[in-house]
Structure 1
Amino acid sequence: MHAIEHLTLIWAGVFVAVFLARLTRLTPVLYYLAVGCLFVNIGLLPKEESDFIRGFSDVGIVLIMFALGFEENASHFLASIKRSWGIAFFGAVAPFLAAFGSVWFFTHNFNVALISGLAMTATAVSLTMVSLKSEGLSQTEAATGIMTSAILDDIASLALVAILIPVAAGDTAPSLLELAAIVGKAILFFLLVVVIAVWVLPHQIAGLWRGLRFLDRWGIKQLLSYDSGQHAVLAVLLFAALLGLAAHVLGFHPAVGAYMAGLILKEDYFEGKGAPGQQEFQRVGRIVENVAFSWIGPVFFVSLGTKIVLDWDLLVSVIPEVAILTAAVFLAQIFSAGIAARYTGAFPWRDSVMIGFGMLGRAELCFVVLDIAYVQSNIISTEVFYILMLTAFWLNVAVPVTISWWKPYYTGEKPLGGKA
């Protein structure tokens, strides 16, 4: 079947998912995942997605993260980093240990347990942020705490992948110089973002850099307002793609770069035909949001759902292990991230519980680890692969369900520990 036909099927599934989400008052993300899983297992979509759909999916997650960053306030994000170190640390260590211990109990194989712990470490922030967006909670303190913690987790997880994969595969572990290079790339990326945000984008530069007055006439504001602002959407998407590529070169997922691109674009850079900056900023935001959340971004989640190809005999045989591992990671993640949010980040309990739920998802890095361990290096067996894939699937399902369930308590519609 041609790739365009696959895309047509996916879009049809997305439309059904949106209808069911509205009917059941759950986030569409849950149904996007279900559509992908259903379509691949009844043969409507192939087990190996085409390059076209894979590329479309990659563009989708980059757009989603850019749209989320575009809505966020940069000052809130930076302030949240100081509060989020404990969430990132304890919220990564606890699920790692829970997965390592559970899989060690099943297999008594240190390397397999090590890989399993690594796969269950990093949070799938894109899934959480879209779930929060669908509930109208994407600009809350909890959402910002989740986002900053997840980025810190990504940095640590990338380093762990570099260290632990060679150890588990029996290859030579990276040297101190190579580890320093990984950390250096992470620092370089964030320095690049700071330089762009402070000294490149602003059209009025203060202090020692005020001599760069050419930016008053040839800066981002002029680019966004060129031709009466008709190409402002193209300009911001180009900026997101460029920073995404920079993130990729320095070892991050491009979606992280896209999020940072959206984060550092300010309202006062925008000016359209006869429209003040605020109106133009909102117009561009509406277009980006529609593209990201309505017709390109959902392809990423449907594609994610297609990763679960069910072998029923094998599926039944691993149900006990999946149940134990899912429960272990579920509880470890919620309690570790929630308690850390409360006592190291001083978040209120309502926010702390929401952060615990929001850290449950497992996607990009998890599947990268599984691809390396199962497909490329043959470190884990087919049974373990199924256990980890199904665990990731149920954890992903838990994100929109728990967020939707907790929302009325979070917003105060229902009192905690009392009658409604």
Structure 2
Amino acid sequence: MSFLGTLCILLLATTLAGHFSHRIGIPAVIGEILVGVVLGPAIFNLVHLTNLVQTFSDLGVIVLMFIGGLESNLALLKKYLRPAIGVAVIGVVFPVLIMGGVSHFFNFTWFESLFIGVIFSATSVSISVEVLKEFKALDTKEGATILGAAVADDIIGVILLSIMISMMGDKSGGAQPALWLVLLEQAAFFVGVFLLTRWIAPALMRLSNHLLMAVSPTIMSVIICLAMAWLAETVGLSGAIGAFFAGTAIAQTDYQHQVDVSIEPVGYTIFIPIFFVSVGLNMTFEGFWQSLPFVAVMTVLGVLTKLLGCGLGAKLNGFNAHSNYLVGAGMISRGEMALITAQIGFSAHLLSSNYYSDVILVIILVTMIAPFVLKDAIHRAPATRPSV
């Protein structure tokens, strides 16, 4: 099937799946992920994760996180930075220790077990952003904490992955950059984020308004978004993180609303649905029954380590019980961050091919469960918005 035909089928299927998901009261992203499961290798094997589908999926993550940054309250993010870091640290420690320790009892080596813990320390906030947006809970103290914690979580995960690859030495298939150099590059990236927000983005957006092009401010914002995503990937972070900070920078200018109303239809028309479909396309049930005990135990732990660990981090920072539950639920999803970490580690021989597909299956199952838990947490939390 040609790519255009595949794209047509996927967009039709995700539109219908999202519609019926809303009708039965579940987040639309679940229906879109299930489209990938049903049409992909797991069931009917009609659609595969080709290079073009993967490219559209990668752009979907970037656009979704850019929109999340555009609609985020920077003052709120700053206000809840401290609890976000606390949530992130405990949310990394719990999976590394608990899921890593339990993995050892399934005949993994200690090194492989530790790496599995690192994989599940990652958080994919993109799916949580979509659910929070759907239920109008993104611009809250809990939403700000989840976003901030996910950024810190990503940085910690990259550092842990860099350390593990460095420990592998020559087995990684090539020379790896020194850890101090990786940390220095990432520090330089965040200095760049500050400069972008304070001076660069406002100047570029003002300049774009004088260009003789239709929707030139929107074009300039996309350039900034892609540039930041590229820079983030260059220093070893997720491109989604760069896109998110690009969005927060544009949000501080006078062009925030204009860009938001221009970008959102493009993202939700084509790129973002393909991202959610790609999560389901990664699923396969090959060898499922033999791996069922491992998959079942790790799926439960994948949910609980973030729910309880990040909830504890929120509690230690003075959040109430409803907020603890909401923050913990918002950090459950692993999605593309865990998939990327698993793929990098697999390529670096941190995990054998015998167990790679099982780990991928657990990541996808946890990611599919996460929106249900988050929706329940949102409905239980009081509908309040703090003033800042």
Counterpart pick for 2:367 among 396, 404, 418: 396
CA distance in 2, matches of 1:306, 1:169: 33
Is the Cα–Cα contact under 8 Å of residues 111 and 168 in structure 1 kept in the other structure?
no
Which whole-Å CA distance do the structure 2 matches of 1:82 and 1:66 have between them?
23
TM-score, L = length of structure 2:
0.91
Residue 219 of structure 2: aligned partner = 234
Aligned residue type for 1:321: F
1:363 partnered with 2:335: yes
One-letter code aligned to 2:219: L
Residues 375/244 of structure 1: CA separation in 2 closer, same or farther (3 Å cut): closer
| Cα distance in 1 for residues equivalent to 2:238 and 2:77 | 19
Aligned to 2:320: 348
Q: What is the match of residue 44 of structure 1?
A: 46
Deviation at 1:316, TM superposition (A): 1.5
1:381–1:158: structure 2 CA closer, same or farther, 3 Å change rule? same
CA distance in 1, matches of 2:86, 2:152: 10
CA distance in 1, matches of 2:47, 2:54: 13
**Match in the other structure for 1:215:** none
CA contact (8 A) 2:67 2:247 kept: yes
Select 2:208's aligned residue among 201, 223, 248.
Answer: 223
Q: Does residue 337 of structure 2 align to residue 335 of structure 1? A: no
2:295 alignment partner in structure 1: 322
Residue equivalent to 1:141:
141
Note if contact 1:123-1:361 (Cα within 8 Å) is conserved in structure 2: yes
**Stretches of structure 2 lacking an aligned partner (at least 5 in a row):** none
How does 1:114-133 map onto structure 2 within 5 Å? 114-133=114-133
1:411 correspondence with 2:386: no
> In structure 1, how many angstroms separate the alpha carbons of the residues matched to 2:281 and 2:209?
38
Aligned match of 2:280: 305
Q: What are structure 1's unaligned runs of at least 5 residues?
A: 204-218, 271-280, 414-420
Asked if the contact 1:164/1:173 (under 8 Å) is kept, the reply is no
Structure 2: distance between partners of 1:43 and 1:377 = 29
Within 5 A, what are the aligned runs for 1:6-405?
Answer: 6-41=6-41, 42-46=44-48, 49-167=49-167, 171=171, 178-202=178-202, 219-224=204-209, 226-227=211-212, 230-266=215-251, 268-270=253-255, 281-311=256-286, 314-343=287-316, 345-374=317-346, 377=349, 379-382=351-354, 384-405=355-376
Whole-Å Cα distance in 2 between the matches of residues 112 and 228 of structure 1? 53
Equivalent pair of 1:95/1:329 in contact (CA under 8 Å) = yes
Do the aligned residues in 1 keep the contact of 2:97 with 2:117 (CA within 8 Å)? yes
C-alpha contact (below 8 Å) 1:115/1:168 kept by paired residues: no
Distance 2:223 2:108 in 1: 49
CA 1:52–1:309: 2 relative to 1, 3 Å: same
Which TM-score applies when normalising by structure 1? 0.84
Identify the range of structure 1 (229-238 vs 163-172) with the bigger mean alpha-carbon deviation. Answer: 163-172
SS where residue 269 of structure 1 aligns? coil
Q: 1:303 to 1:406 in 2, by over 3 A?
A: same
Q: CA deviation at 1:30?
A: 0.9
Cα distance in 1 for residues equivalent to 2:30 and 2:309: 24
CA contact (8 A) 2:279 2:364 kept: no
Q: Among the aligned pairs, what percent are the same residue?
A: 21
CA contact (8 A) 2:119 2:342 kept: yes
Question: What is the number of equivalent residue pairs in this alignment?
Answer: 382
Instruction: Decide which structure has the larger Cα Rg and report it.
Output: 1
Q: What's the RMSD between the two structures over aligned residues? A: 2.5
- Over 3 Å counting, the alpha-carbon distance change for 1:355 and 1:175 in structure 2 is farther
Deviation at 1:229, TM superposition (A): 6.7
Preserved contact between residue 165 and residue 172 of structure 2 (Cα < 8 Å): no
